[in-house]
Amino acid sequence: MFPDDPVLAGLREQVKTAQLSEILDRASAAFKSGDWKSAEECADRARQIDPANAVATKMHHQILDARCESALAKSLTACTTNDFVSARLFLAQARDIEPESQHVDEYAAQIRQKEDEHRKEQLAEAPRAIIRRAIEAMGGMDQLGKYKEAYLLKYTGIVPSGQLKDFRFTCEVDFQWPEKLKITTDFEKDGRSAVQVSTIVGDETWTTINGKPAASPVQSMQAQLRRFKSSWVDVLTGNHGSLFLSARENVDGRQAQAMQTTSAAGDRVTLCFDQETGYPVKVAYDARDRHFDYLTDVHTSSADLPAE
């Protein structure tokens, strides 16, 4: 009997058909049970026997689609728990299974969007957590209201321009709600010194330099009053723009976390919170006219401002 004998060829075809049928049945059973590995092994074996077999080819693609969908579903499930490391790993598995799949691209876009949203939420929550800790460190919201009604701020700096340019100064600001403000400033340079006291009560302002009456900077004092009425306390109580964490700072030898926002007066405000205690230790205002750095040696003030 020769190899090209039609009877033998027919028998071979019957055997191949029977093998294919058995292998594809096993592949189908494994596929239905979720055993992707066994199903794929059977489908690959069937394609080796008959590369042109449409059933084997269709099953191969079905298995790839199912494996890909399973990986994508796991990826989205990981996203729901904000486990984006696992989400990206499952997405990579899906990409390996079907490298050119537009469906995988769509899932990848969804995961990127969810990760971006989560990152934004974290960035927004971190400053809020710092503020909650600061409020707790200051005695709670009820106690915080007293700081808004009356408080004392101390700060230092160098005069940037004008007749006192390059003079170092130490300033103490005593504010009492709603319209009382007293600013006492000590200037010093090269052995020369002066003390300026400016007070505003309602619409009235007065100033002394070394105890002698002097011209009062009315517009500047009114601007200062508006600034302190929309104070750093407002930032803690929610009257502010968006909050952003910035670099850590060293404030009087203490490590502090800095945070930026915008006050109701339109100033850019930077607050620094002691990393150990959570207490606010510094506030800086970048106003339209100048920059102010205040060390928040803050306490409530019970005495009325003196009438000079």
Residues 201 and 60 in one domain: no
Specify if 27 maps to a domain: yes
Residues 148 and 108 in one domain: no
How many domains is the chain built from? 2
Q: What is the pLDDT of residue 11?
A: 63
Residues 164 and 268 in one domain: yes
Full residue range of the structural domain in which residue 77 is found = 6-119
Q: Of residues 134 and 164, which shows the higher confidence score?
A: 134
Residues 272 and 168 in one domain: yes
Residues 155 and 109 in one domain: no
Residues 83 and 184 in one domain: no
Residues 174 and 258 in one domain: yes
Q: What is the pLDDT of residue 305?
A: 38
8 A C-beta contact, residue 187 and residue 165 = no
Question: In 3-state terms, what secondary structure has residue 215?
Answer: coil
Residues 242 and 103 in one domain: no
Beta bridge partners of 283: 271, 294
Span 84-101, average pLDDT: 88
Task: Kindly report whether the peptide bond that precedes residue 178 is cis, defined as omega within 30 degrees of 0.
Answer: yes
pLDDT tens digits along 135-152: 888 788 777 766 666 666
Span 3-11, average pLDDT: 62
Residues 113 and 145 in one domain: no
Specify if 26 maps to a domain: yes
Residues 194 and 109 in one domain: no
Residues 94 and 239 in one domain: no
Continuous segment of H or E residues that includes residue 261: strand 254-262
Q: How far is CA 178 from CA 36, 43, 184, 201, 230, in A?
A: 73, 82, 19, 9, 11
Specify if 306 maps to a domain: no
Q: How far apart are CA 156 and CA 35, in angstroms?
A: 73
pLDDT tens digits along 194-251: 999 988 887 888 899 999 988 877 777 776 666 665 566 667 777 666 778 887 888 8
